[in-house]
């Protein structure tokens, strides 16, 4: 028996409220951190508000299209994403040691941000079809599933890595890992993949120490500088280590309640680069302290918890895979951005979802949330759940 509810009744207002809180935190943090650029603090805020409005329209548009319809254009959007990544390779805008953007005249877009969503759609459809049609449940069947997933995920991973954009490439890897975990593939295969990742890291360290010229084929000089700055920030007084030290000083000086809105020394001085984008967590930690940082982290925790519950309670495998992909997308970005700001991870340039200033990243994340809300709106609730209902 099915409990009948209208789509609007099933709209997840808790998720929308959490997004509203993140929006408020974002606008406050961008306002206070943009004062160092010698412009009106509202300059970046107004633009961020415009991006949020566009993002809200995208969410509304995505929500009212049955997500089952997404299967019909999985191949075209994946192909479009690959074409855009190839366009970046040949016609992309080069800036700050990387070629990641396409100039459209009125604005620039970063195709890798949208490729993350396109990949989620493609992998969700692939895993859904493989799951419901699967007859071979042996380890060979799992290996076939793995190879098909890698066939979709590896090309964009390497194209993005070549830009070079290690941070976004790792997000792609995170999406693949979470969706594989959701697929029910054997643990021994997942552990083997983990072993291969560890082996690759050990091999890179060995190449660095013994065959440095060969090592530079895989790791670009500016990426290596970020690793050096992370491992020894005090030894790098002008580059990445300098940024990391300033971020740590700002967060540490914030103590429990922070130095106060528009009162942070590092936030208001022109010393910490990219503080309204990559290092916005440092501005929050300095001016709002441990208390403000914990409000942000708890909001993220509640957001992720709600998405996990949506994935687990969804009785459509395709919907569950979609939400799992979005979880992999957002969780890694939040962890990486905060961890790099406090020195636990190397600096990669990943934006803090829904908080950092920027258009492409915000719009792709809002699109992802629209997909999650869509899945929740169309989840059918049964008094007696069966395997057949889960495959619908």
- What is residue 2's predicted lDDT score, i.e. its pLDDT? 44
Strand pairing of 93-95 and 98-103? antiparallel
Please tell me the distance from the alpha carbon of residue 263 to that of residue 292, in angstroms, as a whole number. Answer: 14
Mean pLDDT estimate for the chain: 86
Q: What is the mean pLDDT of residues 65-75?
A: 89
Please tell me the distance from the alpha carbon of residue 349 to that of residue 113, in angstroms, as a whole number. Answer: 13
Please tell me the distance from the alpha carbon of residue 351 to that of residue 283, in angstroms, as a whole number. Answer: 14
Most confident of 158-172, 176-190, 282-296: 282-296
Q: Where is pLDDT greater, at 116 or 34?
A: 116
* Among 191, 239, 301, 269, CA closest to 32: 269
Most confident of 36-40, 70-74, 98-102: 70-74
Q: How far is CA 54 from CA 29, 117, 160, 357, 367, in A?
A: 20, 17, 26, 14, 10
Report which DSSP code applies to 351.
-
- What is residue 371's predicted lDDT score, i.e. its pLDDT? 95
Helices (H), 255-349: 265-268, 280-313, 317-341
- What is residue 5's predicted lDDT score, i.e. its pLDDT? 52
- What is residue 248's predicted lDDT score, i.e. its pLDDT? 86
Structurally, how many domains does the chain consist of?
Answer: 1
Strand, coil or helix: 220: coil
Instruction: Give per-residue pLDDT as tens, 260-285.
Output: 888 888 888 777 777 888 889 999 99
Asked if the model's pLDDT at residue 384 lies above 50, the reply is: no
Q: What is the mean pLDDT of residues 21-27?
A: 96
Residue by residue, DSSP assigns 361-373 as HHHHHHHHHHHHH
Cα-based torsion angle of the residue sequence 127, 133, 138, 141 in order, rounded to the nearest 10 degrees: -50
pTM: 0.89
Instruction: Give per-residue pLDDT as tens, 309-355.
Output: 999 988 889 999 999 999 999 999 999 999 999 988 888 878 999 99
- What is residue 237's predicted lDDT score, i.e. its pLDDT? 63
Most confident of 1-5, 221-225, 254-258: 254-258
Residue 375 CB contacts under 8 Å (≥ 6 apart), including other chains: 67, 310, 314, 316, 319, 320, 322, 323
Instruction: Give per-residue pLDDT as tens, 285-297.
Output: 999 999 999 999 9
Please tell me the distance from the alpha carbon of residue 112 to that of residue 130, in angstroms, as a whole number. Answer: 26
Instruction: Give per-residue pLDDT as tens, 359-377.
Output: 888 999 999 999 999 999 8
Specify whether the backbone of 344 is left (phi greater than 0), alpha (psi in -120 to 50) or beta. alpha
- Domain containing 385 equals 2-390
Q: Are 11 and 374 in contact (CB under 8 A)?
A: no
Instruction: Give per-residue pLDDT as tens, 34-56.
Output: 866 767 778 889 999 999 999 99
Instruction: Give per-residue pLDDT as tens, 185-224.
Output: 888 888 999 999 999 999 988 988 888 888 887 777 777 8
Q: Where is pLDDT greater, at 133 or 392?
A: 133
Instruction: Give per-residue pLDDT as tens, 217-255.
Output: 777 777 787 788 787 777 666 667 778 888 888 888 888
* Among 323, 325, 328, 339, CA closest to 377: 323
């Amino acid at each position: 028996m099915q409990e009948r509810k209208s789509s609007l009744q099933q709209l997840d207002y808790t998720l929308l409220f959490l997004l509203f809180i993140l929006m408020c935190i974002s606008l406050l943090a961008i306002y206070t951190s943009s004062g160092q650029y010698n412009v009106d603090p509202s300059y970046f805020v107004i633009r961020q508000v415009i991006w949020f409005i566009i993002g809200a329209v995208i969410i509304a548009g995505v929500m009212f299209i049955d997500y089952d319809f997404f299967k019909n254009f999985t191949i075209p959007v994946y192909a479009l994403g690959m074409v855009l990544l190839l366009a970046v390779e040949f016609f992309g805008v080069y800036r700050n040691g990387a070629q990641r953007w396409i100039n459209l005249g009125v604005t620039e877009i970063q195709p890798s941000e949208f490729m993350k969503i396109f990949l989620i759609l493609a992998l969700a459809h692939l895993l859904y079809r493989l799951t419901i049609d699967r007859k071979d449940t042996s380890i060979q069947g799992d290996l076939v599933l793995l190879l098909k997933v890698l066939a979709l995920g590896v090309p964009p991973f390497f194209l993005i890595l070549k830009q070079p954009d290690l941070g976004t490439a790792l997000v792609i890897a995170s999406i693949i890992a979470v969706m594989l975990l959701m697929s029910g593939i054997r643990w021994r295969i997942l552990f083997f993949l983990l072993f291969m990742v560890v082996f690759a890291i050990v091999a890179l360290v060995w190449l660095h120490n013994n065959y440095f010229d060969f090592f530079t084929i895989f790791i670009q000089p500016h990426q290596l500088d970020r690793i050096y700055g992370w491992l020894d920030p005090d030894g790098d007084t002008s580059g990445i280590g300098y940024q990391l030290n300033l971020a740590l000083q700002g967060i540490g000086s914030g103590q429990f309640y922070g130095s106060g809105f528009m009162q942070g020394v590092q936030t208001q001085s022109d010393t910490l680069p990219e503080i309204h984008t990559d290092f916005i967590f440092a501005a929050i930690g300095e001016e709002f302290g441990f208390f403000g940082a914990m409000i942000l982290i708890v909001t993220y925790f509640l957001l992720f918890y709600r998405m996990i519950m949506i994935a687990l309670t969804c009785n459509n495998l395709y919907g569950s895979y979609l939400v799992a992909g979005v979880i992999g997308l957002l969780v890694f970005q939040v962890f990486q951005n905060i961890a790099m700001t406090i020195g636990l991870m190397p600096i990669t340039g990943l934006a803090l979802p829904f908080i950092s200033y920027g258009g492409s990243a915000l719009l792709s994340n809002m699109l992802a949330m629209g997909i999650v809300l869509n899945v929740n709106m169309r989840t059918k609730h049964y008094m007696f759940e069966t395997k057949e209902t889960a495959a619908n």
